[in-house]
Structure 1
Amino acid sequence: MTKNREEPHPQEDTKNFPSLDNLRVLLVDDNEDSLFLTTFILENQGLQVTTATSVTQALETIKDLKFDILISDIAMPEIDGYSLIRKIRNSTLTEQRELPAIALTALSSDESRSMALASGFQSYVNKPVEPTILITEIRRLISNNQTTK
């Protein structure tokens, strides 16, 4: 009797994904601790991280710099992450409109996930951030974005 080999867990099967080295990330979060931790996770994987602590700052940064992916908190004061992604998706600049985006949030309900995806995010990651899940979602989005170009 032969023993069936288990399939690799999707998070462990990274050989088919592109490298993350030097990928440019815009990370938006109003919480300093969360911003620090997420930046550490991303930089540890070779990504170049630019941070913004508000939607206004993020929109100004996007005007000046090109990014490969956006990772944004949802619950922020004044203007939330839903509004940020809507503004990006409605931008006159094609590169901005098509920017792959991940919502980061402590709001872990089906409703908040649906709202994030309906607003224009392609992925949704819960806080506190699990590094393996975040990196897997980045790889998936970048891989999908490269195949659609």
Structure 2
Amino acid sequence: MTNNSEELHPQNVTNYFHALDGLQILAVDDNADSLFLTTCVLESYNVQVTTATSALEALEIIKKLKFDILIFDLAMPDMDGYTLINQIRNNVLLENRDIPAIALTALSSEESSSMAFLSGFQGYVNKPLDPNILVVEILKILRSSVLENGANSH
């Protein structure tokens, strides 16, 4: 157990290429370039990516489809990522309201990080996006859900 943190070091993410194979992820960002980059990074790991350009669009998609992980931009017009994750977590009608979520943001402050975790996110990644850091956050979430459930769902 002593090398767990070492295993998930950003330089070692290629060792986990197959760990992400086939994951279903919803990526939400109002910035088309950022959404494209996130999608390209995830698809390079053979992740199935569904995208939304607004929180309202994301809510509609979540009602219809199942995902392993959510990745939301925090600063979006109309409804921000904090509000979006709160709506998902507090919606008793959503059977998948406990899906792990990662906040993706250019707001790289201690306060925004704390607020993200308090709002219901399990991971936090700063923009500009470092693909290896995003993959490490996903791997941490997968590892914790495997530990909680006793077995990987894939």
Q: TM-score, normalised by structure 1?
A: 0.89
| Residue 40 of structure 1: aligned partner | 40
The corresponding residue for 1:10 is 9
Q: Distance in 2 between matches of 1:32 and 1:78?
A: 16
Between the aligned partners of 2:100 and 2:54, the Cα distance in structure 1 is 19
Deviation (angstroms), 1:147: 1.8
Normalising to structure 2: TM-score of the pair? Answer: 0.86
SS at structure 2 position matched to 1:66? coil
TM-superposed deviation, 1:10: 2.3
1:95–1:148 CA distance, 2 compared to 1 (3 A): farther
Identity between Structure 1 and Structure 2 (%): 58
**Counterpart position of 1:143:** 143
Greater CA drift, 47-56 or 92-101: 92-101
Contact 1:17 1:139 (8 Å CA) reproduced? no
Asked if the contact 1:28–1:71 (Cα under 8 Å) also holds between the matched residues in 2, the reply is: yes
* Equivalent-residue separation in structure 1 for 2:8 and 2:69 (angstroms): 24
Shift of 1:145: 1.2
Amino acid at match of 2:61: T
Where structure 1 has 5 or more consecutive residues not aligned to the other structure, the ranges are: 1-6
Instruction: Name stretches of at least 5 consecutive residues in structure 2 with no aligned partner.
Output: 1-5, 150-154
Q: CA RMSD in A?
A: 2.0
What's the offset of the Cα at 1:66?
Answer: 0.2
Per the TM alignment, residue 8 of structure 1 is displaced from its structure 2 partner at its CA by 6.2
| 2:28–2:51 contact (8 Å) kept in structure 1 | yes
Where 1:141 maps in the other structure, the secondary structure is helix
Tell me, what secondary structure is at the counterpart of 1:19? helix
- Partners of 2:8 and 2:50 lie apart in 1 by 31
Amino acid of the structure 2 residue aligned with 1:148: E
Deviation for aligned residue 1:97: 2.1
Q: How many matched pairs?
A: 143
For 2:59, the equivalent position in structure 1 comes to 59
Q: Secondary structure at the match of 1:138?
A: helix
Change in Cα spacing, 1:145 to 1:14, as seen in structure 2 (3 Å) is farther
- Which structure has more helix as a fraction of its residues? 2
| 1:93 Cα offset (Å) | 4.5
Higher Rg: 1
Q: Which amino acid aligns with 2:49?
A: V
Aligned to 1:103: 103
Runs of 4+ in 1 over 4 A off after TM superposition: 13-18
Question: What are the superposed Cα offsets for residues 93-149 of structure 1, whole Å, 9 maximum, x if unpaired?
Answer: 464221000000000000110111110001110001000000011011011112212
In 2, Cα distance between equivalents of 1:43 and 1:17: 11
The letter for the 2-side match of 1:24 is Q
Structure 1 pair 121/10, CA: closer, same or farther in 2 (3 Å)?
same
